[in-house]
Amino acid sequence: MVGKGGAGKSVISGTMARVLARDGSRVLALDSDLLPGLSLSLGAGPDPAQPPLREAAEKDEDGRWRLKKGIGPVRAVRRYATDAPDGIRLLSCGKTPREGLEPIMGSVNAFYRVVHRLEGARTFDDWALVGDLPAGPRQVAFGWAPYAETFVAVVQPTAQSALAARRVVRVARMREGARAVFVANRVTGPADVRHVEELVGESVLAAVPADEGVARAERLGIAPIDHAPGSPAVAEIERLVAALAGG
């Protein structure tokens, strides 16, 4: 999930993950944002007993980060991912602490190395992987989502949101074999959908309506699918999941 900050990436990725899990998929949710987001939209609480992901990484003799011996993607997910509702596993890259970036460098590096090895792990062949990327093109450009078959660019009906989505889709499509699609979010009617499609220059795969239930969930910091399960927005995200699965 990519797009401008505030476009609704976490809400859509968290809800998509929940819908996939309820449909019977095993789901690994990947939060590569240093800021809070996906866990709230998934409805995953903190797990104090969870060992931190930084314990999976160490520095080699040249000071370069690597995964510790014996830790591959399967073990990393088993040991360092947290449980989210509907049986989802959530792996987070670490959250920015107040003291500065250094304390999370181990966690960030472990995360980067784990996601690069997911594709080679047969265990995950039949899992659904849903990644929530931070705002902007940075992580797409630097290969933080090598597992992605499809990049979903979330666009609000604003000029800046469309500009951001167009930019990140341009970068995503430079990747061999990667598909990128646009999804409109917080639309108030067909005119908004047309506005988004004009701004991005192509049609959208889904148009998630502006929804008071989701807005309330966002203010409260809880999962939209728990707070407003029958809402029009959640229904459209269910259709989006089906459309993506249909290729």
Partner 1 sequence: MKIAVAGKGGAGKTTVSGTVARALARAGHSVLALDADANPMLGVSLGVGPERTELLLGVRQGVEAGEIEHEPTVEGMVERFGADAPDGVRLVVANRIETENPGCQCCGVSPDQLLRELEDGGRTVICDLEAGLGTVLRLAPGNADVVLVVANPTAKALEVARRAVAIAADKTEVIVLANRVRDDADLDAIAAAIPDRELIVIPEDATIARADRDGLAPIDLDPYSPGVQALVALADRLAGAPVPA
Stretch near partner 1 under the rule CB under 8 A, chosen from 44-52, 70-78, 117-125, 160-168: 160-168
Out of 26, 34, 65, 85, the only residue in the binding site for partner 1 (CB under 8 A) is: 34
Contacts of 180 (CB under 8 A, 6+ apart): 150, 151, 152, 153, 169, 172, 173
Q: With binding defined as CB under 8 A, does residue 220 bind partner 1? A: yes
Separation CA 240–CA 247 (nearest Å)? 11
Q: Among candidates 185, 120, 128, which has minimal Cα distance to 157?
A: 185
Q: With binding defined as CB under 8 A, does residue 40 bind partner 1? A: yes
Report the DSSP pairing between strands 88-92 and 127-132: unpaired
Q: With binding defined as CB under 8 A, does residue 137 bind partner 1? A: yes
Tell me the angle at which helices 9-22 and 212-220 cross, rounded to the nearest 10 degrees.
Answer: 100
Out of 5, 52, 72, 103, the only residue in the binding site for partner 1 (CB under 8 A) is: 5
Stretch near partner 1 under the rule CB under 8 A, chosen from 24-32, 78-86, 121-129, 162-170: 162-170
Separation CA 70–CA 244 (nearest Å)? 35
Alpha helices in 158-201 (DSSP H): 159-172, 190-200
By beta-carbon proximity to partner 1, the closer residue of 175 and 239 is 175
Interacting positions 83-112 with partner 1 (CB under 8 A):
96, 98, 100-101
Interacting positions 48-67 with partner 1 (CB under 8 A):
none
- Contacts with partner 1 by CB under 8 A lie at 4-7, 10, 33-37, 40, 96, 98, 100-101, 134-138, 140-143, 157-160, 162-164, 167-168, 170-171, 174-175, 195, 218-221
